[in-house]
């Protein structure tokens, strides 16, 4: 079994378990996967626009939507970014302290400035980040993200290749706690409703 497939199967098994075991809000049934207590807090150190180091401290008191992908992704990444942008729009005033964090798993091609230009095309409150291969790999392991950089096809430039990666958006509350996991098949209104609920309940604490 290929390493990526094995990793994805493990990821799906974990996600299925989280559906039945998570219960951070006893009086509210989340539509998304409740991952409270099953994933580590938001913690990272990567490079952003201007090659500036960005950490979780820069997103203090923000509700953060974390998505791993790459700028030249032909379908999953632009679709997900567009969906998240629509969610942000539907949140209205509740979106003022929400940030989309797009982390590239293709640091060889994706520079910090390129990534920020990419996410800006979707949402001005989104942040594009990457790091060294080791930094990206370590962060992916932390949040159980699987990805694999494919070899260029015969005759293609070394800069032309595909990247296979896990789908899904991790949602962290304003305290940096992992709370929800949204698959890329979730309806916009479903994600919006759960995200609004999370924002409002954590704001009240």
pLDDT in tens, 147-166: 998 877 877 667 888 898 88
Percent of the chain clearing pLDDT 90 (strictly above): 73
Q: Which residues contact 130 (CB under 8 A, 6 or more apart)?
A: 46, 47, 103, 104, 106, 107, 110, 111, 112, 115, 136
Q: With beta carbons less than 8 A apart as the criterion, state whether 57 and 90 touch.
A: no
pTM of the shown model: 0.84
Q: With beta carbons less than 8 A apart as the criterion, state whether 123 and 162 touch.
A: no
Domain 3-203 in CATH 3.40.30.10: yes
So what's the pLDDT on residue 204?
A: 61
C-alpha 15/C-alpha 37 separation (Å) is: 13
pLDDT bracket for residue 98 (50, 70, 90):
very high
> What is the number of other CB atoms lying within 10 angstroms of the CB of residue 144?
18
pLDDT bracket for residue 205 (50, 70, 90):
low
C-alpha 105/C-alpha 99 separation (Å) is: 19
> What is the number of other CB atoms lying within 10 angstroms of the CB of residue 32?
23
Domain boundaries, the chain: 3-203
């Amino acid at each position: 079994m290929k390493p990526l497939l094995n990793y994805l199967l493990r990821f799906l098994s974990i996600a299925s378990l989280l559906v039945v075991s998570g219960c951070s809000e006893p009086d509210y049934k989340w539509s998304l996967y409740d991952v409270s207590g099953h994933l580590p807090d938001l913690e990272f150190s990567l490079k952003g626009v201007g090659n500036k180091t960005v950490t979780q401290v820069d997103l203090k008191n923000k509700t953060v939507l974390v998505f791993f992908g790459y700028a030249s992704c032909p379908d999953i990444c632009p679709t997900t970014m567009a969906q998240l942008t629509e969610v942000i729009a539907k949140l209205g005033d509740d979106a003022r302290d929400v940030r989309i964090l797009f982390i590239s798993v293709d640091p060889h091609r994706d520079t910090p400035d390129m990534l920020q230009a990419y996410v800006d095309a979707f949402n001005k409150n989104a942040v594009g980040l990457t790091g060294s291969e080791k930094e990206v790999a370590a962060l992916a392991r932390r949040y159980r993200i699987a990805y694999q950089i494919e070899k260029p096809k015969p005759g293609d430039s070394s800069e032309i290749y595909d990247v296979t990666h896990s789908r899904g958006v991790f949602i962290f509350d304003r305290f940096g706690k992992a709370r929800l996991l949204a698959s890329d098949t979730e309806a916009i209104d479903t994600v919006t409703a759960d995200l609004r609920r999370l924002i409002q309940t954590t704001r009240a604490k």
